[in-house]
A and B are shown apart, each in its own frame.
Chain A
Amino acid sequence: MANKPFAITLKPGTSLANLTGSWRSARPVYLNRLPPCNNACPAGENIQGWLFHAESGDYEQAWRVLVRDNPLPAVMGRVCYHPCETSCNRGQLDEAVGINSVERFLGDEANKRGWKFDAPAAATGKKVLVVGAGPSGLSAAYHLARMGHQVEIQEAGPLAGGMMRFGIPKYRLPREVLDAEVQRILDLGVTLKLNTKVEHIEQSMKDGGFDAAFLAVGAHIGKRAMIPAGDAAHIVDAVSVLRSMEGEDKPMLGRKVVVYGGGNTAIDVARSVKRMGGEPIIVYRRTRDRAPAHDFEIEEALQEGVLIKWLSTIKQAEVGEITVEKMELDEKGFPQPTGEFEKLEADSVVLALGQDVDLSLLEGVSGLEIKDGTVQVAPNMMTGHDGIFAGGDMVPSERTVTVGVGHGKKAARNIDAWLRDITYAPEPKHEIATFDKLNPWYYSDADKTVRPMLDMIRRQTSFDEVQGGLDETNALFEARRCLSCGNCFECDNCYGVCPDNAVIKLGPGKGFEFNYDYCKGCGICEAECPCGSIKMVPEDI
């Protein structure tokens, strides 16, 4: 530059000498916020984490991330009531991401391609007894096995799966799907003893030399209601009806079947009845919006021709008919009798009023606390008795497969810690990436992919699976609808929108850094971060 005109001509890029970072009164920082889906998942899945891999078409990696938390994606992708989708921020934009459908796709893909779990960690020499091969028990067994513990499942029934097999109809969960995922768990070296009812837990532990036990026997005893009934009135409980569906001998319920209750079990029974050629009527004392069953299940049932009498209670059951009383909701929303009665044809009445737990195996075990028919457990899932943990439907909680799987995982982690004589401390949860933290402008408009439904005639006449799965194209599409709430997905917005070039791009997978030498603290990066992964923090003065 020596020969260039003084002062008027300048060297290029020399403004780097001017550290504009000193202008700043607030600084941007990168942070991770907890996506609402992850927060809502009872199984504690890192949903966003596995969607991330699915977005780039790496389904195996997506599946591997998924099964870190849940060994049953193909099952879960069918039967989970997906609270993740309910809380999905995308729901406020267009429609929630079809997390459940992608999960199923991944699970099916794993089955189709025969993916195996990663090999377990080195053997610890510890033995754990898992009682019950339902979702919770299988989940606990899986996690414990992967941690290197020797696991044996003792199952009272003839087949593994628990309520997944004996409570959920085939048209929602084909059995080969269940079998494949159970087998993959067993392939980890888990021992499964069928038709082995644990009569006394302490004895069984002692006999088998188990260091700890996880109880997950479920809730299989159908609740009875006091219905005045004639001797010949045919009243059965829903659990037995559904269980008998699995056997050779289908239950004899007659043509007109009244199902009493408003939960998902009631719907399952009614829809199964329809498929067996019956004419189901659901009787429920409240209104549709107050029914515990999921609305989409109610809707599907109605589509298939299931009749539902809302605001009705059964007052009397006789042979061939029942008497129902119309109800009305009081101002608090409770149903109150009206004194209006009606008779309905009913060859049988199926009670779907909930289930109780068979707690017989716990008799004589010290330290336990039983309340409302369930076993009380500490936050680490351990009962009052040292070394005995419990989960699933037998502990106080929402009784869903997903909750059960989550219990199994949580219990496994705590059992592992207990066996190692340490305390399992889950990582503190990040603040939740609520919708207001996002800048949704940047997400392109993309409606949810609708999964194919079986045609109506076959839905009404067969137990074929009602809802189809996604194919590879639309699974990818669906995965990519994920907003990546709260976690940087390297969209480069911050890097691009900074007027001061004060964002350093570290390269694929490495994210970004702020260059505080030049960042003036304008906050555009925070405002334009689509997923809420930047926060402005006042400078210390």
Chain B
Amino acid sequence: MFQIRVHGRGGQGVVTATEMLSVAAFEEGRHAQAFPSFGSERTGAPVVAFCRLDDKEIRLREPIMEPDALIIQDPTLLHQIDVFSGLKPDGYVLLNSAHSFEQIGLGELVKQRGHSKMSTLPATELGLKHVGRPIPNVPLIAGFAALSGMFKLESVIKAINEKFSGKVAEGNIAAATEAYELVKQQMEDRAHA
């Protein structure tokens, strides 16, 4: 079983992100379970959502306390809550930021965990650029696909097409594609570094 925890703020499409992750997994024939941390979240409040992936039926209903991956939609959360709580030692981290981990003062973390499973992505900018809205969720899941290699870009695009249509879908696909390529490039650069 592979467990992903997504952190963000109300209004940033955190729950949608996990749903789309689950759909992408479903498209690839896997079982997936996405669910929010239930509550009456209001816009701006810290929000967390979960996604489990497995090759067999997922029965477990507890929240994800020891994730295999973290997607952090809003870097400002880093100063508010312990988003890394329970993250497995070899877990993935994808952070929405135009800066590197080092630039935002997480150099120590990178040193501990190693570069191979960590990446930042200017997802908000990509959202603005392609969809016209500062919603980072779609670029992040595409980026996560690239970072983790868990899904193909095509599966993410299928999930986008299921959720959106028309121009919004097109924009999101463009954003996803660019994000995917950016992270892929980052990973390749690092691998070669």
Does a CB–CB distance below 8 Å link A and B in the complex?
no
| Interfacial residues, chain A to chain B (CB-CB below 8 A) | none
| Interfacial residues, chain B to chain A (CB-CB below 8 A) | none
